[in-house]
Structure 1
Amino acid sequence: MAGPDGPIVTGNPNWVKGMKSPNPSGRPPGVSPQSKLIQKMLENADGILDAIIAKAMEGDSSSASLILARIVPALKSQAQTVQFDFDHTAPASEQAASILSAIASGAVSPDVGRQIMEAVNALTQIKAGELLEARIAALEEKQS
Protein backbone atom coordinates (compact mmCIF):
# COMPACT_ATOMS: atom_id res chain seq x y z
CA MET A 1 0.00 0.00 0.00
CA ALA A 2 1.35 3.42 -0.86
CA GLY A 3 0.48 6.90 0.35
CA PRO A 4 1.15 10.23 -1.43
CA ASP A 5 4.73 10.26 -0.09
CA GLY A 6 5.59 6.64 -0.89
CA PRO A 7 4.91 3.30 0.83
CA ILE A 8 3.19 3.29 4.20
CA VAL A 9 5.37 1.51 6.71
CA THR A 10 3.73 -0.19 9.66
CA GLY A 11 5.36 -2.18 12.44
CA ASN A 12 9.08 -2.82 12.43
CA PRO A 13 10.65 -1.67 9.14
CA ASN A 14 13.62 -4.03 9.72
CA TRP A 15 11.34 -7.06 9.79
CA VAL A 16 11.50 -9.23 6.71
CA LYS A 17 8.90 -11.92 6.12
CA GLY A 18 10.30 -15.35 6.96
CA MET A 19 13.20 -14.11 9.11
CA LYS A 20 13.83 -15.49 12.60
CA SER A 21 11.93 -13.60 15.28
CA PRO A 22 14.08 -11.20 17.29
CA ASN A 23 11.81 -11.99 20.28
CA PRO A 24 10.98 -15.73 20.15
CA SER A 25 9.32 -15.76 23.58
CA GLY A 26 6.86 -13.06 22.47
CA ARG A 27 5.79 -9.82 24.06
CA PRO A 28 6.09 -9.91 27.85
CA PRO A 29 2.79 -9.76 29.74
CA GLY A 30 1.58 -6.31 30.71
CA VAL A 31 3.31 -4.26 28.02
CA SER A 32 0.54 -4.11 25.42
CA PRO A 33 -1.25 -0.75 25.09
CA GLN A 34 -4.47 -2.40 26.24
CA SER A 35 -2.95 -3.86 29.41
CA LYS A 36 -1.29 -0.51 30.20
CA LEU A 37 -4.65 1.24 29.83
CA ILE A 38 -6.37 -1.33 32.06
CA GLN A 39 -3.66 -0.91 34.69
CA LYS A 40 -4.03 2.88 34.59
CA MET A 41 -7.82 2.59 34.95
CA LEU A 42 -7.43 0.23 37.92
CA GLU A 43 -4.99 2.63 39.60
CA ASN A 44 -7.52 5.47 39.22
CA ALA A 45 -10.69 3.47 39.85
CA ASP A 46 -11.32 4.95 43.31
CA GLY A 47 -11.09 8.52 41.98
CA ILE A 48 -13.29 7.73 39.01
CA LEU A 49 -15.90 6.11 41.24
CA ASP A 50 -15.80 9.04 43.67
CA ALA A 51 -16.32 11.50 40.78
CA ILE A 52 -19.28 9.53 39.41
CA ILE A 53 -20.86 9.31 42.87
CA ALA A 54 -20.36 13.05 43.39
CA LYS A 55 -22.02 13.79 40.03
CA ALA A 56 -24.93 11.49 40.92
CA MET A 57 -25.33 13.23 44.28
CA GLU A 58 -25.46 16.57 42.43
CA GLY A 59 -28.38 15.27 40.41
CA ASP A 60 -26.70 14.02 37.23
CA SER A 61 -29.17 11.38 36.09
CA SER A 62 -26.75 9.54 33.77
CA SER A 63 -24.25 9.08 36.63
CA ALA A 64 -27.02 7.94 38.95
CA SER A 65 -28.30 5.55 36.30
CA LEU A 66 -24.81 4.11 35.81
CA ILE A 67 -24.39 3.50 39.54
CA LEU A 68 -27.85 2.03 40.00
CA ALA A 69 -27.46 -0.25 36.99
CA ARG A 70 -24.39 -1.77 38.65
CA ILE A 71 -25.79 -2.25 42.15
CA VAL A 72 -29.52 -2.90 41.71
CA PRO A 73 -30.48 -5.96 39.66
CA ALA A 74 -32.81 -5.41 36.72
CA LEU A 75 -36.42 -6.15 37.49
CA LYS A 76 -37.81 -9.17 35.71
CA SER A 77 -41.43 -9.40 34.80
CA GLN A 78 -43.39 -11.86 36.84
CA ALA A 79 -46.65 -13.11 35.44
CA GLN A 80 -49.57 -13.42 37.78
CA THR A 81 -51.54 -16.64 38.00
CA VAL A 82 -54.60 -16.32 35.78
CA GLN A 83 -57.96 -18.04 35.94
CA PHE A 84 -60.23 -18.36 32.92
CA ASP A 85 -62.33 -21.04 31.21
CA PHE A 86 -59.92 -23.19 29.27
CA ASP A 87 -60.54 -26.71 28.01
CA HIS A 88 -57.15 -28.34 27.40
CA THR A 89 -58.87 -31.26 25.62
CA ALA A 90 -60.53 -28.98 23.03
CA PRO A 91 -59.10 -28.61 19.53
CA ALA A 92 -56.29 -26.05 19.25
CA SER A 93 -58.50 -23.58 17.38
CA GLU A 94 -61.02 -23.59 20.26
CA GLN A 95 -58.20 -23.22 22.80
CA ALA A 96 -56.87 -20.22 20.86
CA ALA A 97 -60.35 -18.71 20.73
CA SER A 98 -60.77 -19.06 24.50
CA ILE A 99 -57.37 -17.42 25.08
CA LEU A 100 -58.30 -14.52 22.80
CA SER A 101 -61.64 -14.20 24.57
CA ALA A 102 -59.88 -14.08 27.95
CA ILE A 103 -57.56 -11.36 26.65
CA ALA A 104 -60.48 -9.37 25.25
CA SER A 105 -62.41 -9.59 28.51
CA GLY A 106 -59.39 -8.51 30.57
CA ALA A 107 -59.12 -11.80 32.47
CA VAL A 108 -55.65 -12.31 30.96
CA SER A 109 -53.13 -9.62 30.06
CA PRO A 110 -51.99 -9.59 26.42
CA ASP A 111 -48.41 -10.62 27.24
CA VAL A 112 -49.54 -13.55 29.40
CA GLY A 113 -52.09 -14.49 26.72
CA ARG A 114 -49.29 -14.53 24.14
CA GLN A 115 -47.27 -16.88 26.36
CA ILE A 116 -50.25 -19.20 26.81
CA MET A 117 -50.91 -19.12 23.05
CA GLU A 118 -47.26 -20.01 22.37
CA ALA A 119 -47.49 -22.90 24.81
CA VAL A 120 -50.66 -24.20 23.11
CA ASN A 121 -48.95 -23.87 19.72
CA ALA A 122 -45.87 -25.76 20.96
CA LEU A 123 -48.04 -28.53 22.39
CA THR A 124 -50.01 -28.74 19.13
CA GLN A 125 -46.77 -29.12 17.16
CA ILE A 126 -45.55 -31.82 19.52
CA LYS A 127 -48.84 -33.70 19.19
CA ALA A 128 -48.71 -33.38 15.39
CA GLY A 129 -45.18 -34.81 15.38
CA GLU A 130 -46.25 -37.71 17.55
CA LEU A 131 -49.27 -38.39 15.34
CA LEU A 132 -47.13 -38.30 12.20
CA GLU A 133 -44.60 -40.64 13.80
CA ALA A 134 -47.35 -43.09 14.75
CA ARG A 135 -48.82 -43.00 11.22
CA ILE A 136 -45.40 -43.65 9.66
CA ALA A 137 -44.79 -46.54 12.06
CA ALA A 138 -48.21 -48.02 11.18
CA LEU A 139 -47.48 -47.73 7.44
CA GLU A 140 -44.05 -49.35 7.86
CA GLU A 141 -45.59 -52.17 9.87
CA LYS A 142 -48.21 -52.73 7.14
CA GLN A 143 -45.50 -53.01 4.48
CA SER A 144 -43.52 -55.58 6.47
Structure 2
Amino acid sequence: MMRTLLLALLLTTASVAHATVYKCVDANGRVTYTNDSAIARACTPLNTDQAITSIPAPTRKPAGRAPASTGSGDFPRVSPDAQQERDTTRRQVLEKELQTEEQSLAKARESLASREAILQIKEHDENDGLRCRARREPQQ
Protein backbone atom coordinates (compact mmCIF):
# COMPACT_ATOMS: atom_id res chain seq x y z
CA MET A 1 0.00 0.00 0.00
CA MET A 2 2.76 2.42 0.98
CA ARG A 3 4.75 1.67 -2.16
CA THR A 4 1.72 2.31 -4.37
CA LEU A 5 1.07 5.63 -2.66
CA LEU A 6 4.71 6.65 -3.02
CA LEU A 7 4.73 5.71 -6.72
CA ALA A 8 1.55 7.70 -7.38
CA LEU A 9 2.99 10.73 -5.59
CA LEU A 10 6.19 10.51 -7.62
CA LEU A 11 4.34 10.29 -10.94
CA THR A 12 2.08 13.27 -10.20
CA THR A 13 5.03 15.40 -9.13
CA ALA A 14 6.86 14.68 -12.37
CA SER A 15 3.89 15.69 -14.50
CA VAL A 16 3.43 18.98 -12.63
CA ALA A 17 7.10 19.88 -13.10
CA HIS A 18 6.88 19.58 -16.88
CA ALA A 19 6.53 22.97 -18.61
CA THR A 20 7.63 24.64 -21.83
CA VAL A 21 10.86 26.56 -21.35
CA TYR A 22 11.62 29.65 -23.42
CA LYS A 23 15.00 31.20 -24.19
CA CYS A 24 14.95 35.01 -24.35
CA VAL A 25 17.78 37.27 -25.52
CA ASP A 26 17.45 40.96 -24.62
CA ALA A 27 18.87 43.99 -26.46
CA ASN A 28 22.15 43.75 -24.50
CA GLY A 29 22.64 40.11 -25.47
CA ARG A 30 21.81 38.69 -22.03
CA VAL A 31 20.14 35.30 -22.15
CA THR A 32 17.21 34.57 -19.86
CA TYR A 33 15.23 31.35 -19.49
CA THR A 34 11.59 31.39 -18.44
CA ASN A 35 8.53 29.18 -18.37
CA ASP A 36 6.06 32.10 -18.32
CA SER A 37 4.45 32.31 -21.76
CA ALA A 38 3.21 35.88 -21.11
CA ILE A 39 6.78 37.13 -20.69
CA ALA A 40 8.16 34.92 -23.48
CA ARG A 41 6.32 36.45 -26.45
CA ALA A 42 9.45 37.23 -28.49
CA CYS A 43 11.36 34.22 -27.16
CA THR A 44 12.03 30.86 -28.73
CA PRO A 45 10.75 27.66 -27.09
CA LEU A 46 13.48 25.17 -26.28
CA ASN A 47 13.40 21.55 -27.23
CA THR A 48 12.89 19.53 -24.05
CA ASP A 49 15.63 17.13 -25.13
CA GLN A 50 18.15 19.98 -25.28
CA ALA A 51 20.28 20.60 -22.20
CA ILE A 52 19.74 23.97 -20.53
CA THR A 53 22.76 25.65 -18.98
CA SER A 54 23.03 28.98 -17.25
CA ILE A 55 26.77 29.21 -17.90
CA PRO A 56 27.54 30.68 -21.32
CA ALA A 57 30.03 28.88 -23.50
CA PRO A 58 33.43 30.59 -23.66
CA THR A 59 33.91 32.73 -26.73
CA ARG A 60 37.00 32.17 -28.79
CA LYS A 61 38.90 35.21 -29.95
CA PRO A 62 40.49 35.09 -33.38
CA ALA A 63 44.26 34.80 -33.32
CA GLY A 64 46.40 37.74 -34.35
CA ARG A 65 44.16 40.46 -32.99
CA ALA A 66 45.32 42.76 -30.24
CA PRO A 67 43.33 42.55 -27.00
CA ALA A 68 40.77 45.28 -26.56
CA SER A 69 41.53 48.02 -24.07
CA THR A 70 39.62 47.49 -20.84
CA GLY A 71 40.22 51.00 -19.53
CA SER A 72 37.90 53.87 -20.21
CA GLY A 73 38.96 56.78 -22.40
CA ASP A 74 38.76 59.26 -19.53
CA PHE A 75 41.14 57.30 -17.29
CA PRO A 76 44.04 59.58 -16.26
CA ARG A 77 47.33 58.93 -18.01
CA VAL A 78 50.70 59.20 -16.28
CA SER A 79 53.86 60.21 -18.06
CA PRO A 80 56.59 57.55 -18.27
CA ASP A 81 58.93 59.66 -16.11
CA ALA A 82 56.33 60.07 -13.37
CA GLN A 83 55.57 56.34 -13.48
CA GLN A 84 59.28 55.52 -13.27
CA GLU A 85 59.59 57.78 -10.21
CA ARG A 86 56.60 56.08 -8.57
CA ASP A 87 58.06 52.67 -9.30
CA THR A 88 61.41 53.70 -7.81
CA THR A 89 59.75 55.05 -4.67
CA ARG A 90 57.65 51.90 -4.33
CA ARG A 91 60.77 49.73 -4.73
CA GLN A 92 62.60 51.71 -2.02
CA VAL A 93 59.71 51.31 0.41
CA LEU A 94 59.50 47.57 -0.26
CA GLU A 95 63.27 47.11 0.10
CA LYS A 96 63.21 48.97 3.43
CA GLU A 97 60.36 46.75 4.65
CA LEU A 98 62.26 43.67 3.52
CA GLN A 99 65.39 44.80 5.36
CA THR A 100 63.38 45.42 8.56
CA GLU A 101 61.75 41.99 8.32
CA GLU A 102 65.11 40.29 7.72
CA GLN A 103 66.54 42.02 10.82
CA SER A 104 63.54 40.87 12.86
CA LEU A 105 64.02 37.34 11.57
CA ALA A 106 67.72 37.37 12.52
CA LYS A 107 66.86 38.56 16.07
CA ALA A 108 64.19 35.87 16.39
CA ARG A 109 66.62 33.18 15.26
CA GLU A 110 69.25 34.39 17.79
CA SER A 111 66.65 34.34 20.56
CA LEU A 112 65.54 30.84 19.56
CA ALA A 113 69.12 29.57 19.45
CA SER A 114 69.88 30.95 22.93
CA ARG A 115 66.68 29.44 24.37
CA GLU A 116 67.43 26.07 22.77
CA ALA A 117 70.94 26.17 24.25
CA ILE A 118 69.53 26.88 27.73
CA LEU A 119 67.01 24.05 27.31
CA GLN A 120 69.74 21.61 26.28
CA ILE A 121 71.83 22.57 29.32
CA LYS A 122 68.85 21.98 31.63
CA GLU A 123 68.10 18.61 30.01
CA HIS A 124 71.76 17.62 30.30
CA ASP A 125 71.81 18.56 34.00
CA GLU A 126 68.59 16.63 34.66
CA ASN A 127 69.93 13.55 32.88
CA ASP A 128 73.20 13.70 34.86
CA GLY A 129 71.22 13.97 38.09
CA LEU A 130 69.21 10.90 37.17
CA ARG A 131 72.37 8.93 36.42
CA CYS A 132 73.92 9.93 39.75
CA ARG A 133 70.77 8.91 41.65
CA ALA A 134 70.69 5.60 39.79
CA ARG A 135 74.27 4.88 40.87
CA ARG A 136 73.53 5.73 44.51
CA GLU A 137 70.33 3.69 44.79
CA PRO A 138 70.83 -0.06 45.08
CA GLN A 139 69.28 -2.31 42.47
CA GLN A 140 66.24 -4.28 43.60
Output the TM-score relative to the length of structure 1.
Answer: 0.32
Structure with more contact order per residue of length (Cα contacts < 8 Å, sep ≥ 6): 2
Query: Between Structure 1 and Structure 2, whose CA radius of gyration is higher?
Result: 2
Output the TM-score relative to the length of structure 2.
Answer: 0.32
Bigger strand fraction: 2
